[in-house]
Amino acid sequence: MDKSELRTHIRKLKKHYSKEELQRKSIQVIKRIESATVFRDAEVVMCYWSMDDEVYTHGFMDKWLFHKLLLLPVIENEQLIIKQFHGLKSMKPDPRFGILEPEGKEFIKTDNIDLILVPGVAFDKKKNRMGRGKAFYDKLLPKLKCPKVGICFDFQIMNDIPINQFDIPMDMIISESFIIE
């Protein structure tokens, strides 16, 4: 399958699950993240504010808000920039995608980030990641020195996915049943 076909395939698989079922599966993913040493040792964690078809991160962000410095990506001028998460009250919807994003100034101390949790459409057992096709993360990830952990549902892990030279592999992948290191 090429990338377009794989994105369509994963979209069809996701339709087999209700939003509530995906949120229940997300609980297992989050438990695995929270038990991982790489997360427990991290003080500054970049995550993402989930869309309905992604591993649900809203409760995770609320839970850890006062225990770790949490960061979220914001789309600005076709690039992802990083801002600190201060809670739901400080979020506003992105005009293009409707995803809630934190307000405030850009977080520029990227060397201080201890861990980034990365969404994706599909991952493979060699820790490759395929995103939604906008290359936002592929432009951001090379700038970060921290461990990159892809998080997804079991059905998003393939044996092989198509990649190109700009695709950034993960250091680890966590799903509801697997940790690939």
Would you say the C-alpha torsion 61, 65, 67, 71 has a positive or negative sign? positive
Q: What is the pLDDT of residues 23-57, one digit of tens each?
A: 999 999 999 999 999 999 999 999 999 998 999 99
Taking CA atoms, 70 is separated from 37, 52, 95, 161, 166, in Å, by: 17, 21, 23, 30, 27
User: Is the confidence at residue 97, as pLDDT, over 80?
Assistant: no
Write down the CATH superfamily of domain 3-180: NagB/RpiA/CoA transferase-like (3.40.50.10420)
Backbone angles phi, psi at 12, to 5 degrees: -65, -40
List, in sequence order, the alpha helices (H) in the chain: 3-14, 19-35, 37-40, 58-64, 136-140
pTM: 0.95
Cα separation, 86 vs 70, in Å, equals 8
Contact 71, 46 (CB under 8 A): yes
Q: Which two tokens stand for residue 90?
A: 């400080």
Band of the pLDDT at 61, cuts 50, 70, 90? very high
User: Domain map of the chain by residue range?
Assistant: 3-180
What pLDDT, in 10s, does the model give residues 107-164?
Answer: 999 999 999 999 999 999 999 999 988 889 999 999 999 999 999 999 999 999 999 8
**Cα separation, 171 vs 162, whole angstroms:** 18
